[in-house]
Amino acid sequence: MSTPHTHKSNRAPVGAVQCENTSLNLLKANDFVAKTIRDRMAAQSTLVINITSSAGSGKTTLMQATAARLKDTLSMAVLVGDLETERDAIRIREAGVPSLQIVTGGICHLEAQMVLQAMDHITLEGVDLLFIENVGNLVCPAAFDLGEDYRVTLIATTEGDDKPKKYPRMFLTSEVMLISKADLLPYVPFSVEAVVQDAREVNPDIHAITVSSTSGVGIDEWCEWLLERVREKKGSDESNDSVVFLSKQLGSM
Amino acid sequence: MHEVSLVNSIFRSIELEFPKQDVERVRGIFMRVGLLSNVEPVLMQSAFAAVIETESAFRQATLHVEVLPILVHCAECDKTSLVENYKFVCACGKPSNNIVQGTELLIHKVEFALDDD
Ligand SMILES: Nc1nc2c(ncn2[C@@H]2O[C@H](COP(=O)(O)OP(=O)(O)O)[C@@H](O)[C@H]2O)c(=O)[nH]1
Ligand SMILES: [Mg+2]
Ligand SMILES: [Zn+2]
């Protein structure tokens, strides 16, 4: 790995160099594909949510809990990114929702191109709500737009409550912060208040919900938020009957 | 964390932008990375050193990484201020996440050798 790169100094350019000022955005290709996804999902009024967190914060478990609550109310699907295995998609399918694993083969984040390719292998027609569970990592996924409508970041009560300051870009680009594993709050040194305050210093508009997929705390509020967003997304399409249906559901919650 | 794939996209972007004969003459690549891009200059240099081992066209190139601080613009007082400690607040005290600098991930200059050696 660490062979000295002497050739560089040996053959350093002598004489004049020519400079080209340019502006090559390294994320241009990703952003272009993300726009393709966004346009395609807008045309069929599918709400797209990108779920990010560190590894093990409870993303897949939340997908299972959300599926249990909403699968009879609306049509859901989940794309799930993972470094190597297919376990998460199996867990979500067992919860009764179509799910497809995107195995990144060691890449630490999902890119729009991977999502677009996966979309050819799952039926998205008539799907109201598409989740994309990102690879567990708060650094790299922050830079990659996947064509989502909203980015939701989980922070578990078992992690340090200093995450928003350590990974500001993720919190800056997220509309919602879910404080997960709330059932463990009595046992861990974690201050919900402090984490919300830190997150709001980075992103004053971030919406915070405290949830537990195991006890069910906050799952109503989370699902209500989702239904409201789905309704908004469909709102632009007046002819859609499910708008009325979803409004009724909301009223009853 | 994804420095190697970033180096690869630097090379692919340059190959797309410039004619093939110019690519061979690249000697300097100047990047600007915003503090929010999460790019670590030191890791970038090691990834660069590793990737040019197999990318012979870029063997003689040197990478320069400039990190840009985060600037936000406040709509209230129409001022731009520096964000320190990731506290997105304008000097006037109003919160602002209207970022005008700090998310960049771009190549702003490329240097070419004038004659082949
Ligand atoms: N106590 C508790 N454990 C949870 C909760 N949600 C997830 N877990 C556990 O946390 C671990 C990681 O969860 P998982 O959903 O796979 O995390 P992911 O890597 O973010 O998808 C598993 O052992 C889950 O059982 C929760 O709300 N409360
Ligand atoms: Mg998972
Ligand atoms: Zn101000």
For residue A19, what pLDDT band results from cuts at 50, 70 and 90?
Answer: confident
pLDDT in tens, B43-56: 999 999 999 998 88
Is residue A78 within 8 Å of A232, Cβ to Cβ?
no
Percent with pLDDT over 90 in chain A: 72
pLDDT score at B115: 67
- Which one-letter DSSP state was computed for residue A179? E
Q: Which chain A residues are closer than 8 Å to B13 by Cβ?
A: 24, 26, 28
Q: Which residue of A has its CA nearest to B12?
A: A26
pLDDT in tens, A110-152: 999 999 999 999 999 999 999 999 999 998 899 899 999 999 9
pLDDT score at A251: 44
Nearest CA to ligand 1 atom 1: A181
For residue A21, what pLDDT band results from cuts at 50, 70 and 90?
Answer: confident
Is the model's pLDDT at A11 over the cut of 50?
no
Pairing outcome for strands A129-133 and A47-52? parallel
b/e per residue, A158-171, with b = 16+ CB within 10 A?
ebebebbbebbbbb
Q: A213 to chain B, minimum CA–CA distance in Å?
A: 30
Residues A120, A230: Cα–Cα separation, whole Å: 22
Within chain A, where are the H helices? 6-10, 28-43, 59-70, 87-94, 112-118, 163-166, 168-172, 192-202, 219-235, 242-251
Of A245, A211, A241, the residue nearest A227 (C-alpha): A245
A38 residue type, one letter:
R
pLDDT score at A220: 97
Distance B6 CA to ligand 2 centre (A): 25
Q: Which residues line ligand 1 (CB under 6 A)?
A: A 53, 55-61, 136, 180-181, 183-184, 212-214
Query: What is the CATH T-level fold of the domain A22-247, as seen in this structure?
Result: Rossmann fold (3.40.50)
Say whether A11 and B88 touch across the interface (CB within 8 A). Answer: no
Q: Is A107 on the interface with B (CB under 8 A)?
A: yes
pTM exceeds 0.90: no
| Residue with more model confidence, B4 or A125 | A125
Please count the other Cβ atoms lying within 10 Å of the Cβ belonging to residue A6: 8
CA distances from A99 to A36, A49, A96, A121, A182 (A): 21, 14, 9, 10, 26
- Please, what are the domains in chain B? 2-69+101-112 (3.30.2320.80)
Q: Is A194 on the interface with B (CB under 8 A)?
A: no
pLDDT score at A6: 37
| Residue with more model confidence, B88 or A93 | A93
- Tokens matching residue A6: 């002497």
Distance B43 CA to ligand 1 centre (A): 32
Q: Which residue of A has its CA nearest to B60?
A: A8
For residue A236, what pLDDT band results from cuts at 50, 70 and 90?
Answer: low
Residues A122, A125: Cα–Cα separation, whole Å: 9
A218 residue type, one letter:
G
Is the model's pLDDT at B73 over the cut of 50?
yes
> What residues in chain B have their Cβ under 8 A from chain A's Cβ atoms?
1-2, 5-6, 9-10, 13-14, 17-18, 27-28, 36-38, 49-50, 52-53, 59-60, 62, 85-89, 95-97, 99, 103, 105-115, 117
| Residue with more model confidence, A115 or B37 | A115
pLDDT score at A20: 85
Is residue A134 within 8 Å of A51, Cβ to Cβ?
yes
For residue A181, what pLDDT band results from cuts at 50, 70 and 90?
Answer: very high
